[in-house]
Chains A and B, each alone.
Chain A
Amino acid sequence: MATNMKWLGAAAGGVLTLAATGAAAEGRLGTVLERGSLLCSGHNGSFLGFAEVDDQGQWKGVDIDLCKALAAGLFGKSEGHLEIVPISWAQRWPALQSGDIDVVIKVSGWTQSRDTELNLSYSTPYFIGAFQAMAKADLGAERIADLDGGSLCVAAGTSTERALATFLETNNIEAELLTFENGDELRNSYYEGRCDAMVEWAPSLAAGRVDAPDGADNHVILPDVIALEAEGIIVPEGDPDWLDVQNWMLSSLWFAEVEGITSENVDEFKANPPSETVAKFLGNTPGYGDRLGLSNDWAYNMIKEVGNFAEIYDRNIGEGSPYGLPRGVNSLYNAGGVFYPFIID
Chain B
Amino acid sequence: MPAHHPVIPAELPRQNVLTWLRSRYFATRRDAAVTIVFAAFVAWILWSLIGWALLDATFAPNAGEVCREDLHGGACWSVVSTRWRIVLFGLYPFEEQWRSAIACIVMVIVAVLSCLPWFWSAKRLPLLWTAGFAIFYVLMRGGFFGLAEVTEQNWGGLSLTIFIFAAVSLLGMPLAIVFALLRRSSLPWIARTMALVIDVIRSLPLLSIMFTFAIVLPFVLPEGLTGDKLYRVIVGYALFFACYQAEIIRGGMQALPAGQEEAAKALGLGYWHRIGYIILPQAFRNALPPTINQFVITFKETSLVTIIGFFDVMASGRAASGTADWNFAVVEMYVFVGLIFFVFVFSLSRYGAYLERRLGVGRR
**Which residues on the B side are within 8 Å of A32 (C-beta)?**
none
A 40-66 to B, binary, CB cutoff 8 A, 1 in contact else 0: 001111111100111111110000000
**Which residues on the B side are within 8 Å of A69 (C-beta)?**
none
Q: Quick check: A45 and B318 within 8 Å, CB to CB?
A: yes
Q: Which of A55, A58, A84 has the most CB of B within 10 A?
A: A55
**Which residues on the A side are within 8 Å of B319 (C-beta)?**
43, 45-46, 52-53
Contact of B85 among A47, A49, A57 (CB under 8 A): A57
Give the interface size bracket for B toward A. Answer: 35 or more
Q: Quick check: A88 and B307 within 8 Å, CB to CB?
A: yes
A53-B215 Cα distance, complex, nearest whole Å: 25
Contact of A184 among B307, B308, B323, B330 (CB under 8 A): B330
**Interface residues in A96-134 (C-beta closer than 8 Å to B):** 97-100
Q: Which of B83, B211, B215, B328 has the most CB of A within 10 A?
A: B215
A24-B83 Cα distance, complex, nearest whole Å: 46
**Which residues on the A side are within 8 Å of B153 (C-beta)?**
83, 85-86
- A98-B306 contact in complex given A53-B320, A86-B153, C-beta closer than 8 Å: no
Q: Which residue on chain A has the smallest CB distance to residue B157?
A: A57
**Which residues on the B side are within 8 Å of A48 (C-beta)?**
322-324, 327
Q: Is B252 an interface residue (CB 8 A)?
A: no
Contact of B324 among A43, A45, A49, A213 (CB under 8 A): A49
Q: Which residue on chain A has the smallest CB distance to residue B217?
A: A98
- A46-B215 contact in complex given A86-B153, A86-B315, A184-B330, C-beta closer than 8 Å: no
**Which residues on the A side are within 8 Å of B94 (C-beta)?**
56-58
**Which residues on the B side are within 8 Å of A213 (C-beta)?**
71-72, 328
**Which residues on the A side are within 8 Å of B97 (C-beta)?**
57
A180-B193 Cα distance, complex, nearest whole Å: 42
Q: Which of A84, A94, A210, A213 has the most CB of B within 10 A?
A: A94
**Which residues on the B side are within 8 Å of A100 (C-beta)?**
215, 218, 229
**Interface residues in B70-119 (C-beta closer than 8 Å to A):** 71-72, 82-83, 85-86, 89-94, 97
A42-B94 Cα distance, complex, nearest whole Å: 18
B 291-307 to A, binary, CB cutoff 8 A, 1 in contact else 0: 00000000000000011
Q: Is B163 an interface residue (CB 8 A)?
A: no
Contact of B322 among A46, A56, A98 (CB under 8 A): A46
B 46-82 to A, binary, CB cutoff 8 A, 1 in contact else 0: 0000000000000000000000100110000000001
Q: Is A230 an interface residue (CB 8 A)?
A: no
**Which residues on the A side are within 8 Å of B281 (C-beta)?**
none
Chain B interface helix/strand/loop/mixed: helix
A53-B94 Cα distance, complex, nearest whole Å: 12
**Which residues on the B side are within 8 Å of A188 (C-beta)?**
330
**Which residues on the A side are within 8 Å of B218 (C-beta)?**
98-100
Contact of A57 among B86, B327, B328 (CB under 8 A): B86
Q: Is B311 an interface residue (CB 8 A)?
A: yes
Q: Which residue on chain A has the smallest CB distance to residue B333?
A: A184
A323-B92 Cα distance, complex, nearest whole Å: 27
Q: Which residue on chain B has the smallest CB distance to residue A99?
A: B218
A321-B151 Cα distance, complex, nearest whole Å: 32
Q: Is B244 an interface residue (CB 8 A)?
A: no
Q: Quick check: A44 and B311 within 8 Å, CB to CB?
A: yes
**Which residues on the B side are within 8 Å of A90 (C-beta)?**
211, 307
Q: Which residue on chain A has the smallest CB distance to residue B219?
A: A98
**Which residues on the B side are within 8 Å of A83 (C-beta)?**
151, 153
Q: Is B213 an interface residue (CB 8 A)?
A: no
Q: Quick check: B324 and A53 within 8 Å, CB to CB?
A: no
**Which residues on the B side are within 8 Å of A238 (C-beta)?**
none
**Which residues on the B side are within 8 Å of A88 (C-beta)?**
306-309
Q: Is A211 an interface residue (CB 8 A)?
A: yes
How distant is A86 from chain B, measured CB to nearest CB, in Å?
Answer: 5
Q: Quick check: A98 and B309 within 8 Å, CB to CB?
A: no
Q: Quick check: B91 and A57 within 8 Å, CB to CB?
A: yes
Q: Which of A53, A57, A90, A97 has the most CB of B within 10 A?
A: A57
Q: Is A91 an interface residue (CB 8 A)?
A: yes
Q: Is A95 an interface residue (CB 8 A)?
A: yes
Shortest 10 CB-CB distances between A and B: which pairs?
Answer: A46-B322, A45-B318, A322-B324, A211-B328, A94-B215, A56-B94, A53-B319, A87-B309, A52-B323, A98-B218
Jot down 18 A-B pairs with beta carbons below 8 A, ordered by A. Answer: A45-B306, A45-B322, A46-B318, A47-B322, A48-B322, A49-B324, A52-B319, A55-B86, A57-B97, A58-B94, A86-B91, A86-B309, A91-B215, A98-B215, A98-B218, A188-B330, A207-B324, A210-B327
The residues of A with any CB-CB pair to B shorter than 8 Å are 42-49, 52-59, 83-88, 90-91, 94-95, 97-100, 184, 188, 207-208, 210-211, 213, 321-323
The residues of B with any CB-CB pair to A shorter than 8 Å are 68, 71-72, 82-83, 85-86, 89-94, 97, 151, 153, 156, 211, 214-216, 218-219, 229, 306-311, 315, 318-320, 322-325, 327-328, 330
